[in-house]
């Protein structure tokens, strides 16, 4: 055992420090990327290093490799690396070099998307906000100040990679780089200057001499030698702008992002697998999932505005690092099936023929090598087709893959992989297990002053745009004004406020009078807040707040925020109104507690003696807690709180907003995968909060003595929050007697000539687990989904005992799906086997 550890440690060291392990010459031709003279079919997946932790990286990357990936794709996030011009940060989650080396250690390639504009639902599209304040600058166009800064940062990243010998030309894992990002979607807004900018960007990138190809995604006029690539839910119809360039898909959207106030999007794996197979059917050789692991928008990194803290993206590996089944497993099978066709795919272009309406065959044949893809792109009807003298059943919206042009190894609509149901379990988090979970004991607090409280306020006539005022140093900007009220009392008095977004809290004489926020579809809002004024002096304090800066669109950097007015007191005596917009307002950037470093929990005069304040706006709360036992991923359930930010041991887990509820309309628990997918097609959680659970990485926790700090804006009850852990509750599979055999059996049954039928397989997610019980088993006509299976009109009475004997006590098991195994409970009827199991 010790010798094994030495060998593994040596391999890790050599992988990290020895360039020669990759040692590749990377070029391309019209079919594929060419690595050391050989065309390659490559499957890639996006993992963004700052959306997880260095401690998570090795496991995420290994699970990606186990899922059949050849490459990891990541953006480079300028604003986290250069938060102040000329001051760089590559520590912790920002350690780009360590991330690339960790990918290399797993034996995978890297696609480094430098951008440096990234979009990515990331704050300000990845640009540092200080860039906005450079005199004369205009973003993403033929503008000398911008080009100088873009070139400086791009060269900085390239030089870092070269110094560490991380490019393939130096023996490293980076075989591809990207400059700019989806500029073709908006370049018409920039006119001729946009065209010249793209030419400049291409020349600048290639001049950096990385020794590997560069790409531009969504850029139909990408200049040679830059490869233009496709992003989207489907890219089978995409054609590169030159017959010397390969067909590449840099972003296959595996799901969609979550917004505060939105329902939770998901993409059925049958549709995703269909899109992948169609791309390779029609000549593609490089495909990347965006995302393969989405992760978490820690701190204030989410963009939008209104992008949620969770960036799960319905990816094959979920936000917490757990494989999402059946998505991960079915795609793994798709990857295996495609790789069985690699020799044919790289040898020639496809010959595409129609087999009937909405039916198509693509054949790759050269010499004795032949592979074929049969597609039914119809959305309603299954079909039976004749191909090369054989008959094949094609479900609607599916592709069958035939590595030998004869036998089907996989159909995208038929899932052999297991599925799983996960759950969150509430855990004790008190240092003293005998104390009440909902008690205020152990909590301390500090009230954030309403209005101007810092030493550096300033006054100016009129209302200021927020981002130009705060430079995004904080989400918060106070607008403060004192007025003398001598207009007579009225029960109808209201404060009319018009804001560019994203939200505000209005205080009158120190008391919260009302709040309002925009949403992901419309950040701007207008609100009329009922107010009560007193005779004489009144103080109006408006706390304007941002929820991530705009990250997409032409001139996105000029999108403003804050209260730009008008601000009007309406409904005064005699129905009069008072426009306050042009008054002399006093401004304060950020909160006093932010300047005092209260988020660390170690500074400030925390109060634990007087009455515990619940539902009090603008309150900082602090408590200590013990980490939940075990190794399962940890989250905080923020039910009971309203809106704010949270820190664990000084590290921000992001903004929380558990009261922002999605619309009641537009959701479905089961979504028909047939037909084109869109971001609004398949959604869950309508009428419920968009996000109540917030990830806390295990590596941020100590066994005990952890500090949790909350900044609550609107008023909540922190004693109601709870710590939860995520685990797999059930493991399921449902395989019909018409499913192809498992992909991994392909070679054995094609070479031996013996017939192999479908097989149902289960594997516990953890190495130390075994299958402990069978919750459901039926061979016949079972119905339902994982966690909700039920018997159909016929079921073999032997099923449960056979499955129990095969599976209980083992980590994995396989059962043949046939009447030979279970007998025939209903002759002449198509049958299937459904099983739900538990692991312990």
What Å distances lie between residue 500 and 469, 540, 545, CA to CA? 14, 19, 10
Residue 82 annotated in active site: no
Distance CA 771, CA 25 (A): 47
Q: Are 526 and 497 in contact (CB under 8 A)?
A: yes
Residue 387's H or E segment, with its range, is strand 383-387
What DSSP designation does 17 have?
Answer: H
CA gap 446, 395 in Å, rounded: 62
| Integer Cα distance of 748 and 767 in angstroms | 27
Residue of 121, 164, 251, 342 marked active site: 251
Pairing of strands 503-508, 458-461: unpaired
Helices (H), 429-516: 466-470
Question: And the tokens for 341?
Answer: 């066709």
41: phi then psi, degrees, rounded to nearest 5: -90, 125
Taking the C-alpha atoms of residue 25 and residue 33, their distance in angstroms, rounded to an integer, is 10
Q: Whole-angstrom Cα distance, residue 342 to residue 686? A: 43
Tokens linked to 496: 């009319």
The whole-angstrom separation of Cα 29 and Cα 33 is 7
Task: Name the helix (H) or strand (E) containing 376.
Answer: strand 369-376
CA–CA gap between residue 170 and residue 650 (Å, rounded): 39
Of 817, 809, 810, nearest in space to 835 by CA: 817
Catalytic annotation present for 251 = yes
d(CA 582, CA 567): 9
Distance, CA of 306 to CA of 524 (rounded, Å)? 12
Q: What six digits make up the tokens of 81?
A: 């690396």
DSSP letter (8 states) at residue 48: -
Which member of 182, 360, 448, 836 is catalytic? 182
CA distance 340 to 407: 12
- Hey, which residues are catalytic here? 182, 251
């Amino acid at each position: 055992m010790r010798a094994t550890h030495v060998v593994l440690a040596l391999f890790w060291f050599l992988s990290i420090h020895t360039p020669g392990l990759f040692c590749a010459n990377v070029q391309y031709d019209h079919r594929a990327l060419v690595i050391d003279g050989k065309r390659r079919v490559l499957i890639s997946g996006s993992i963004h290093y700052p959306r997880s932790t260095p401690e998570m990286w090795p496991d995420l990357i290994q699970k990606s490799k186990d899922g059949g990936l050849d490459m990891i794709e990541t953006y480079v996030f300028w604003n986290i690396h250069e938060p102040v011009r000329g001051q760089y940060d590559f520590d912790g989650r920002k350690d780009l070099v360590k991330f690339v080396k960790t990918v290399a250690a797993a034996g995978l390639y890297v696609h480094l998307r430098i951008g440096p504009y990234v979009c990515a639902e990331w704050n300000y599209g990845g640009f540092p906000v200080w860039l906005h304040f450079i005199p004369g600058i205009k973003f993403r166009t033929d503008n000398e100040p911008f080009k100088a800064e873009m070139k400086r940062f791009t060269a900085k990243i390239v030089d870092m990679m070269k110094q560490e010998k991380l490019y393939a030309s130096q023996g490293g894992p980076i075989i591809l780089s990207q400059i700019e990002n989806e500029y073709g979607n908006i370049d018409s807004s920039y006119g001729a200057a946009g065209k010249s900018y793209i030419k400049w960007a291409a020349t600048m990138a290639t001049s950096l001499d990385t020794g590997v190809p560069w790409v531009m995604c969504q850029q139909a006029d990408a200049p040679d030698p830059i490869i233009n690539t496709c992003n989207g839910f489907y890219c089978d119809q995409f054609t590169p702008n030159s017959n010397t360039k390969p067909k590449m898909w840099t972003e296959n959207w595996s799901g969609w992002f979550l917004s505060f106030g939105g329902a939770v999007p998901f993409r059925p794996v049958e549709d995703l697998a269909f899109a992948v197979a169609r791309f390779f059917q029609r000549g593609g050789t490089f495909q990347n999932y965006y995302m393969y692991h989405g992760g978490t928008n820690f701190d204030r990194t989410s963009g939008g505005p209104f992008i949620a803290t969770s960036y799960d993206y319905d990816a094959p590996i979920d936000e917490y690092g757990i494989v999402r089944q059946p998505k991960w497993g079915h795609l793994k099978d798709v990857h295996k099936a495609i790789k069985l066709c690699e020799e044919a795919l790289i040898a020639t272009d496809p010959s595409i023929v129609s087999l009937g309406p909405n039916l198509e065959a693509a054949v790759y044949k050269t010499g004795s090598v032949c592979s074929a893809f049969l597609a039914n792109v119809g959305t309603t009807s299954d079909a039976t087709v004749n191909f090369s003298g054989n008959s094949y059943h094609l479900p609607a919206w599916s592709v069958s893959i035939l590595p030998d042009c004869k036998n089907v190894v996989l159909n995208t609509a038929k899932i052999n992989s297991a599925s799983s149901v996960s759950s969150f379990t509430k855990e004790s988090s008190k240092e003293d297990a005998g104390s009440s979970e909902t008690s205020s004991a152990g909590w301390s607090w500090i009230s954030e002053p309403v209005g101007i409280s810092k030493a550096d306020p300033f006054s100016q006539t009129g209302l200021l745009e927020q981002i130009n005022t705060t430079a995004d140093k904080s989400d918060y900007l106070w607008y403060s004004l004192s007025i003398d009220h001598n207009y007579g009392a009225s029960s109808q008095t209201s404060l009319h406020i018009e804001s560019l977004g994203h939200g505000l809290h209005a205080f009158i004489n120190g008391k919260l009078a009302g709040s309002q926020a925009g949403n992901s579809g419309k950040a701007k809002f207008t609100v009329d807040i009922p107010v009560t004024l007193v005779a004489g002096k009144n103080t109006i304090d408006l706390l304007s707040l941002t929820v991530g800066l705009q990250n997409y669109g032409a001139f996105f950097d000029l999108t403003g925020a804050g209260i730009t007015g008008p601000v009007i007191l309406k409904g005064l005596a005699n129905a009069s109104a008072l426009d306050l917009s042009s008054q002399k307002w006093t401004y304060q950037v950020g909160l006093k507690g932010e300047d005092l470093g209260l988020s660390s929990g170690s500074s400030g005069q925390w109060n634990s003696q007087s009455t515990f304040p619940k539902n009090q706006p603008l309150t900082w709360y602090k408590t200590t807690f013990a980490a939940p036992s075990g190794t399962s991923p940890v989250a905080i359930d923020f039910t009971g709180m309203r809106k704010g930010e949270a820190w664990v041991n000084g590290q921000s887990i992001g903004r929380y907003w558990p009261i922002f509820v999605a619309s009641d309309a537009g959701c479905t628990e089961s979504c028909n995968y047939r037909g084109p997918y869109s971001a609004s097609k398949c959604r869950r959680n309508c009428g419920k909060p968009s996000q109540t659970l917030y990830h806390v990485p295990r590596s941020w926790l100590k066994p005990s003595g952890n500090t949790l700090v909350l900044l609550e804006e609107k008023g909540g009850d922190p004693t109601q929050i709870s710590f939860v852990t995520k685990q797999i509750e059930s493991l399921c599979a449902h395989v019909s007697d018409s499913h192809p055999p498992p992909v991994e059996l392909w070679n054995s049954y094609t070479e031996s000539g013996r017939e192999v039928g479908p097989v149902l397989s289960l594997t516990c997610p953890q190495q130390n687990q075994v299958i402990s019980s069978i919750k459901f088993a039926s061979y016949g006509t079972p119905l339902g989904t994982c966690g909700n299976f039920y018997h159909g009109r016929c079921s073999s009475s032997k099923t449960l005992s056979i499955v129990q004997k095969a599976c209980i006590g083992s980590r994995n098991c396989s059962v043949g799906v046939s009447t030979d195994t279970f007998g025939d409970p209903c002759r002449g009827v198509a049958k299937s086997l459904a099983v739900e199991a538990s692991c312990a």
